[in-house]
Structure 1
């Protein structure tokens, strides 16, 4: 740090301490002068005098030791320490003693406490339905399937259709009214024609009518049952859920819970069951529903996987396996609804419906009727409830099918990141903004920032419109992705092409401080409702906090300044939302370009298709702050402070 700049900050700190001392003395004198007609001050005045004297002593000590400039100089170190603490906080959670075992909070659920009759007696029906389903042209059957409709009608279910004019898709669903119910509550069983991987969902299309036939013969139900056959678990199912709550005439009451089945295999056995539970915008189903499905699976001697746990790790319960599940869970929750690969449970988000997806994976293990018994027993447990799910957690992170951490345990990690950006914002103000400068410059800074915000809003809506209108063409997303990457690189590299600064020094530091503070407030806003997105944004944008120390060293043509310029460019590129989108696309799709294009397409069309607001959080929260830092680096004045006269 240059000597003149350090001396100037010392002088500024001294003036600040002296000003506080004068204010304290003046306040003390005024308080004593306004005591009418008293020769002996009251006890409260003596207490006030003591406090003021103590404050004066503290201020004198601070001034004498020069603590203010020393504290300001250590703020970058504090920011780095907070970043390390935040990451370490999550790394500690999978350790023994830091997590909790799952348990059933609602005693009325009683999973696995009844005899299940969906066994070998139903096997022939399942095989018969599967043989017929294997002959279908799934693409045309998803639009019209008279054979399936005839089966459901023969079982006594009321069949209806929902036609969506926007997608031109027709979704068939069947209602079974509960013999003991009052038609006010319902449970949903979903069997999409195509799985999230694009495979024909043959096994589920056989299980669904078999379960419908089985349910219709039982008189225990107090909640209606709806069986839905959408083309996919993405747009088609989401449109049906929205229409059910708005325009459909044939309904069966409030939807309490939903289970989506994915069983693409045409054979009787599978290896293990995977549970998918993430919802849109950070929503999760009540933990009791997951615990019910997991408990029933254990009773069936069935292995359960979450977050794509590899088969060889299903029996492990060590630190690294739990950490992998935790990391995958945070990443998947952050991009749920925008990665283009939806499993069906996401479609029920926003309507207070507890939903999960069960997937049959592999071959050679439990049989298909055991998979059906997961649905049977889960529906029986939900059928016991007299009210909505409310006892267990709605905010949690799973470490395994039987271990979790609650919101009070993991939330501080994101809160520490928000504090990190607040500290960096204070550091920027302390370095180059006085009280008078703040008053004089805050108006122009706010106008500039909201101008950037308006430009980002127009760009976000425009890109969304292009994505929606060009959904069938992958070429449009190639162009959009390439343009966004080019914009990021050119903006980061081109900041040093501007020769003459146009902002004053206070305006430069104040805009930088406001951008960092804006990210802090964004993280705080998302902290509870969408922890995963808040944490990912905070970690990804962390390099922005390093810019203000580096940018002051970029003036001149020395080797130090050249290295500083390279570091600033790298920090800007690394903290860009576009960079994180590209990296996530590669990571989530195993290093394939299609993963990046799919993530960009899903991000831009997610609001239109699924009402996921992730794109607008990125485009109107993270991106304006990043652009503001780029603008400050390009047009700001970060030259060394001139020596100021001491008073």
Structure 2
């Protein structure tokens, strides 16, 4: 008996201890519905709390020291700048056909200051969709055989060599100027830049070279700046990239300036360079007067949601407000300012803030309702323009080369008459002088402050560590729901079809049984639909080849070809309207599980490329994926819960369809009377023309996800 007892004790092996992380995973998977509701609700709430959690901006880099020195720009410099404005406007009155005279005048003024002057010739390049060059810049650099002299632009470039520098760093000042059709605002912006330029030729504290680029904006401000940057960063040694002077006599005549210039001038026919760019400012002056006060608007968004270092914006904001008395503005979604529900939400947060302050005076929670509404409108605008991935100004060309740059647009309170022009020249010039002086103090590139942030006002921001919480809460339920659906589908399969030879018995910890490899069929379907998404993304390249077609016609052709290709796909693969046998009762759950997994991966990758796109995509895709369920089951159930879910599925399926979402958003912002079918094509065309990653996300992640959710809704098994 003793031997038998000892043998039985040896046969009994101790059960392995389940790790706490495994227990937690099993618990979350078992309660995936509750976790999904809590996380999605918390994610949306965290998004609306961002304006409340915004912090005041501050200068992270002490070396910038904005406003520490008194401005040196005098009335004499302003007078010189005003003289240039008068000369340019008088040339416009003469209706010069070629614009050569205005460039000649600007170059002559630069030469009189002792700057190095050169002309940069570039060929206007149209942004065109090409699938093989999607994430690369449109840098051909070679003139086509059928060019015309009228398609050339000429930038005027002046360089000041720093007396205390070694030529390794430079600051760039850009003033767009249309040589054929300029307005008074552009002439004043050139005058401001010239007044600062004349000052910088006399100072002794300058340690970085200063480049003044007068961009020929007749073919677009961005195109002129991008062409100059392309040649600055990537030197070209082929003569094909420069126009032939014999074929273009107007361009050749421009170089006669060297003969007429003053003695000892530094005019050069070759492309002149300075050091590595530390920062860039694009200066514009609006000819339209503001209603209340002199303002300056800051545009910072670049391609694919890139933003300049926050310190650069902080320096401009500090100097504009505290030194020059200018009101700083950033873009807002103006339609949200009159939203009653947003105002009510702001009042709720304001009341909660008062309660929190009464409990503990040190708790700083809650802001006034009006400030909350304005902060939300600014935050929504920041998210929208970052998600588009399209630059909001010529500064975007600098961010492609990792140079911190912003566009400043000064809007005067009154029209630019003689007296107001002097005031704008003085205040604008001193602002630019202060920013250049701060950047000049830097010993290295901007790196102390944030590159990933959202603005709620010119002086408040939300950092990446805060706004990532909302996104993380939104996508957190996806892997748990995917695992729960997979387990449920295979558990049902193990009960109804135990003798299936394609099953592999494997009981894991916690009693979760994984028996079937049938998920590969669902993965094949999901993969095929995403291949279809890639085909849909490439169709516009071929549709654009159709001559004399309107945006509406192109959009309709795109829709028809996409439907034909989708129906062809379903004719080859399984159709959502048919079911082969009863063993596939949970086939939709496997499709949903694989779809959710792919959406989780797609959103995670997109958050690295462009977080704003991933955030907006998660708001639309996560509820649609989590609620997707065959409509047949909800109709059979007949309960209030199933009916509500069916209505939500239908509403989300309609709203989340990309064209429908675009028309709904455009109608809410601009009015439904202005909505046109061809607007969606033009919007998508702008995305691919600017190589926005949002276009790839819509075509290869968002649209296939919508199709798969519709597939699940129409499933009849």
**TM-score normalised by structure 1 residue count:** 0.76
Which has the larger displacement, 76-85 or 533-542?
76-85
Contact 2:299 2:406 in 1 (8 A): yes
The correspondence for 2:226, drawn from 234, 238, 254, is 238
**Structure 2: which 5+ residue stretches go unaligned?**
1-6, 127-150, 237-270, 339-367, 415-419, 495-502, 504-513
Contact 1:425 1:516 in 2 (8 A): yes
Residue 157 (structure 2) pairs with residue 174 (structure 1):
yes
Contact 1:438 1:506 in 2 (8 A): no
Distance change (3 Å), C-alpha of 1:316 and 1:501: closer
Distance change (3 Å), C-alpha of 1:261 and 1:545: same
Alignment match, 1:24: none
Contact 2:543 2:554 in 1 (8 A): no
The correspondence for 1:500, drawn from 554, 578, 584, is 578
Contact 1:429 1:510 in 2 (8 A): yes
Give the C-alpha shift of residue 612 in structure 1. Answer: 2.7
Which has the larger displacement, 157-166 or 355-364?
157-166
Give the C-alpha shift of residue 30 in structure 1. Answer: 13
Contact 1:126 1:207 in 2 (8 A): yes
Give the C-alpha shift of residue 379 in structure 1. Answer: 0.9
Alignment match, 1:278: 301
Partners in 1 of 2:99 and 2:121 — Cα distance?
A: 15
Residue 642 (structure 2) pairs with residue 619 (structure 1):
no
Q: Secondary structure at the match of 2:517?
A: helix
Give the C-alpha shift of residue 439 in structure 1. Answer: 4.4
Cα shift readout 1:42-97 (whole Å, capped 9, x = no counterpart): xxx9xx65847x99xx99xx9xxxx98x98786345323322211111222222xx
Alignment match, 2:377: 324
Alignment of 1:456-475 (within 5 A): 456-464=533-541, 466-467=543-544
Distance change (3 Å), C-alpha of 1:153 and 1:563: same
Contact 2:296 2:326 in 1 (8 A): yes
Alignment match, 2:328: 304
Calculate the aligned-residue CA RMSD, in Å.
4.3
Alignment match, 1:204: 189
Contact 2:295 2:411 in 1 (8 A): yes
The correspondence for 2:471, drawn from 400, 414, 428, is 414
Partners in 1 of 2:8 and 2:520 — Cα distance?
A: 34
Cα shift readout 1:109-168 (whole Å, capped 9, x = no counterpart): 111111223243333333333233335369954998333333333332322314136344
Contact 1:202 1:265 in 2 (8 A): no
Contact 1:76 1:427 in 2 (8 A): no
Partners in 2 of 1:458 and 1:144 — Cα distance?
A: 49
Alignment match, 2:235: 247
Contact 2:530 2:700 in 1 (8 A): yes
Alignment of 1:86-165 (within 5 A): 86-95=43-52, 98-134=53-89, 135-136=91-92, 141=99, 145-155=103-113, 156-164=115-123
Partners in 1 of 2:676 and 2:167 — Cα distance?
A: 44
Partners in 1 of 2:285 and 2:451 — Cα distance?
A: 27
Alignment match, 1:258: 280
Alignment of 1:283-432 (within 5 A): 283-298=306-321, 299-308=323-332, 318-337=371-390, 342-364=392-414, 367-432=424-489
Partners in 1 of 2:616 and 2:648 — Cα distance?
A: 22
Distance change (3 Å), C-alpha of 1:487 and 1:175: same
Q: Secondary structure at the match of 2:461?
A: strand
Q: Secondary structure at the match of 1:115?
A: coil
Cα shift readout 1:217-247 (whole Å, capped 9, x = no counterpart): 3333221222221413333323332332213
Give the C-alpha shift of residue 418 in structure 1. Answer: 1.4
Contact 1:173 1:226 in 2 (8 A): no
Distance change (3 Å), C-alpha of 1:272 and 1:121: same
Distance change (3 Å), C-alpha of 1:120 and 1:443: same
Distance change (3 Å), C-alpha of 1:376 and 1:632: same
Cα shift readout 1:486-543 (whole Å, capped 9, x = no counterpart): 8999999xx9x96433694444322222222212122222334422111100012234
Alignment of 1:548-563 (within 5 A): 548-549=628-629, 551-553=631-633
Cα shift readout 1:572-611 (whole Å, capped 9, x = no counterpart): 2222233333344445656574798566435434454x44
Residue 596 (structure 2) pairs with residue 516 (structure 1):
yes
Partners in 2 of 1:143 and 1:462 — Cα distance?
A: 46
Which has the larger displacement, 360-369 or 178-187?
360-369
Partners in 1 of 2:677 and 2:64 — Cα distance?
A: 42
**Count of equivalent residues:** 571
Cα shift readout 1:149-194 (whole Å, capped 9, x = no counterpart): 3333333232231413634442414141222222221111111236
Distance change (3 Å), C-alpha of 1:293 and 1:574: same
Partners in 2 of 1:139 and 1:596 — Cα distance?
A: 39
Partners in 2 of 1:349 and 1:370 — Cα distance?
A: 27
Give the C-alpha shift of residue 283 in structure 1. Answer: 1.3
Distance change (3 Å), C-alpha of 1:461 and 1:498: closer
Contact 2:162 2:207 in 1 (8 A): yes
Alignment match, 1:447: 524
Distance change (3 Å), C-alpha of 1:438 and 1:115: farther
Partners in 2 of 1:293 and 1:405 — Cα distance?
A: 18
Contact 1:118 1:373 in 2 (8 A): yes
Distance change (3 Å), C-alpha of 1:300 and 1:542: same
**Structure 1: which 5+ residue stretches go unaligned?**
1-28, 35-44, 640-647
